[in-house]
Each structure stands twice: as C-alpha cells, then as structure tokens.
Structure 1
Amino acid sequence: MTAGSLKLVTLIETHAEAIAEQWAKDVKKNARTPSYHNLSNETLTTMAVRFYDNFSQMFYTEKPAEISRPYFYQYAEEHFRHSIPLSEALYALILMRRHIWLYAEFQTIFISAVEQKQAVDSLVRTILMFDYAIIFITQRYEELLHGEVEKKMGRLRHIFAESTFSLFLRRQKYIIMPCLLILLMIITSYSHAVLKTDILFTHLYYIPIILSALWWKRVSIYLSIFLSLYLVISHLIFLSHIPIYVELVRCAIFIVISIVVTWLGRGLVAAEEILKRSLLKGER
C-alpha cells in the first residue's frame, strides 16, 4: 500500500467523527435524502462513524468483497429498519465518499506531485470499495423487501386460509350454491306472501353472494343482480302496499358487497402472482 493510501486511511481513522458530523449535516438538509431529515444527529453520526471505523479494515484487505459484505449488509438492514428507500441509502453512501475527499482536500494531505499521484491510487481503491457497497446493499435490500412482502402475504394467506370445513364447502360448491339459491327463493316468497314481511331474512342473501365471490369471483356480481331482481319482483307481487325503496337500498348493498369481495379476491390472487414472479426472479 502506498504512503498516500496510508495517509488517507490514517486521516479517516483519526477524524472519523468530524467527517461523520459533516456528512450528517449534509444528509439532513439534502433534497435527495428527505428520509434522513427526521433522524437525529446522534443516529446519523453513529451510522457514519461505524462506516469510517470499518474503512481501514476494508481498505487494507486483499479481499475487500469478502470483508465488506457483512458490514454493508448491516448498513442495508439498519437503513431498512428506518424505512429509508434504497435510492436514498445509496445516495447517502455516495455522500460519505464525497465527504472523505472534501475533508482530505481541506486538510491538504496530498500536496506534492508524488502525493497527488498516490491520491489517485487511493481514489481508485476507494471507488472499488464503494462499488462493492452498492452491490451488497442493493442485494440485501432486495432480500429484505422480499422478506417483508412474504411476511405480509403470509398474514393474508393466514386470514384466507382454508379450514377443513371451507375445503369441504369448496368441493361441494356446485351442489351447495343451487341449494342455497332455491332455499332463499322459497324463504323470500314465503316471507312476502305468507308472513307479509321483509325483515331479517334478506341478511341470508349475503351468504351466497360472498361464497360465490370467493369461489368464482365475478360471477358473484351477476348472482347479486339476479337475487336483487328476484327480491324486487317478489316485493312488487306480494308487498305492493309497502314502499319498495328499502328493498332497493338492500339490492344496492348486495351488489356493492359482491363487487368489493370480488375485487379483494382478485387483488389477493394478483398480489400472490407478483410475489411469486418477484421471488423467482430474485432466486435467479
């Protein structure tokens, strides 16, 4: 290692906190790092000091990739915990490199022509380290993002997980659904024609509407329209003396519920497909 490189490393080790403080001030006001603005000076300075303290170890080694990987993974995890976007985390890293050279220029450690030539060697080595940093931080961020998505999808799968009973219902859906519809039509006609009431029984309409949305998605919308029409027609035939606006409101709710449940079901399927493609791409 050249004398110029040693000078640079010694400067960073000796003045790590001062360089870190300058970096912290920069990221707290820089327009490209808004996620850092609300972090405390102490938190930011600690981040940078940790980096500069590890600088010499990464700088001296003949295998910088192996030595630097654990640290840059830790850097990515820490920034991910603070909900800092990857683009900002990488730009903050670029600013760390910039402040090394700004401080070195301020201290005028490379004065002579020979030292300036050595400074070029130091610059090349530093750029190599930061290239590794960008690669490893990006890799770790992708892993963390995949893990976060998988965790959230796992919660959704748990919510929609099928029990033994729900699996039985799904297998028998072509028998259950016609039976439910016939039963509802009988109850509706009996309530309107015999009991002369439209209270309570309409809540049963939600059962086939929701089940059809889970089983057949868009079919639920057509089913809700069919049930709504049947309800209105039955009301007009048997309860013509009672205002129909209440039934119309119920019908509108049936259709809205079918649309919402269908949309949620399709969204879950789409999210799972996106997650699968993303994970497969990441494995490659």
Structure 2
Amino acid sequence: MISEKMVHLIRENADDLTRKLCKELITREETKSYRLVNQDLLYDRVFDIYIRLDSWLLGDKVKGEVRNHYTKLGRKRYEEGIPLNEVIMSLMLTKRRIWLYVVEKHFFDSSYEFQQALEFNNRIVLFFDRAIYFTSIGYEDELRKAVPKSPGGFLSRLFGMR
C-alpha cells in the first residue's frame, strides 16, 4: 500500500528530512527563536517527530497519546520562551517538508499512486492539524498560569476565562 511505502520513505530518510528542516527553521524569520535552541537538541526534536510519525499515522498510537504528547510540547515551548506563532510555524514546516520530500523523490509511478499519495497527505494534514491544536492548548495552559486573571480583561476574553 502506498501509505506504508510513504511512511517507510519518511522513516528511512528521517535524517535527511531532519537536517533540511532544521536548516529551514534557523534561517526563516518566522521561526527565528529556534536559532537560540541548541542545534543538537533541535535536531533530536525534529528527528523524533519524523521517527514517531509512522506509529501515529498507521494507527499504532491512539488519539489520546498524540494529544498528551503535543499538549506537553506546547507547555515546554512556552517555558522555553518560543512564541506560539513560531511553534505553529515549525509544525507547519514539518508537515510541508514531508510532502516536498515525497515529490522531490519522484515517488509516484502512476496517477493511481499519486491519488493514493494525496489521500495519505490528507492523513498527514489531519495529524498536524491535531498536533497544532493540542500544542496550542498546552501553550495556552501555561500562559494562563503565568498571567493573573482579571475579570473581563483582554486575556480573559481571548482565552474564554470567566
């Protein structure tokens, strides 16, 4: 099946994907805070996403595990001082890098395989949409703890605190 072949391609080329994404994260203005992260640590974090992706996409991990992982990730990034917009951009770039890599490797031999790959890409998009959502929740949880509640204030309205 094409999805298993694509997951295998991602897993087998996780190092190359990781190096390319790390370079992009530290050179883009939209993710400039990642320049302050130790490069070995950044590599390990990105590599971890690509290596885990197979179990998440092929159904070995339940949705709750993904929720817990990315909620914790959001909390950690808040504690590290990385702005939420940059965290979200890093996840978007991670997702984008997968598709670019598959296209770059001329992975499709037929229009049927291309259609299957698009369907698989939809699964990747859904996964990263959830990852972004849960990361935002974790980040906002930490932000709420750090900001004193003021009834009727801007942050209360922004985060729905009553």
What range describes the TM-score normalised by the shorter chain of this pair? 0.7 to 0.9
Residue type of the partner of 2:114?
Answer: Q
**CA–CA distance in structure 1, aligned partners of residues 24 and 91 of structure 2:** 12
Q: Could you say which residue in structure 1 is the equivalent of 2:160?
A: 281
- Cα-to-partner distance string for 1:55-86 (whole Å, 9 max, x where unaligned): 11110128753231122123212322321111
For the Cα contact (< 8 Å) 2:77–2:139, is it kept in 1?
Answer: no
The 3 A distance-change label for structure 1 pair 277 and 99 is closer
Distance across 2 between alignment mates of 1:104 and 1:280: 38
Equivalent residue, structure 2, for 1:119: 117
Displacement of 1:108: 1.8
1:27 positional shift: 0.7
Once residues 13 and 33 of structure 2 are traced to their aligned partners in structure 1, the CA distance between those partners, rounded to angstroms, is 26
| Count of residues paired in the alignment | 161
Give the match for residue 103 of structure 1: 101
Work out the CA distance in 2 between the residues paired with 1:19 and 1:272.
Answer: 44
Look up the equivalent residue of 2:96 and give its one-letter code.
R
SS of the equivalent of 1:37 reads: helix
Residue aligning to 2:15? 17
In 1, the alpha carbon distance for the partners of 2:104 and 2:44 equals 22
User: What percent of counterpart residues are identical?
Assistant: 26
CA–CA distance in 1 between the matches of 2:11 and 2:120? Answer: 15
User: Quick one: distance in 1 between partners of 2:119 and 2:130?
Assistant: 17
**TM-score if structure 1 supplies the norm length?**
0.52
Structure 1 unaligned residues grouped into runs of 5+: 154-270
- Greater RCO, CA 8 A, separation 6+: 2
* Consecutive unaligned residues in structure 2, runs of 5 or more: none
Between 54-63 and 22-31, report the one with greater CA deviation: 54-63
Output the amino acid matched with 1:17: D
TM-score, normalising length: structure 2: 0.87
1:151-230 mapped onto 2 (5 Å cutoff)? 153=148
In structure 1, the partner of 2:127 is: 129
Q: Which amino acid aligns with 1:77?
A: R
CA RMSD of aligned residues (A): 2.4
Q: Which amino acid aligns with 2:160?
A: K
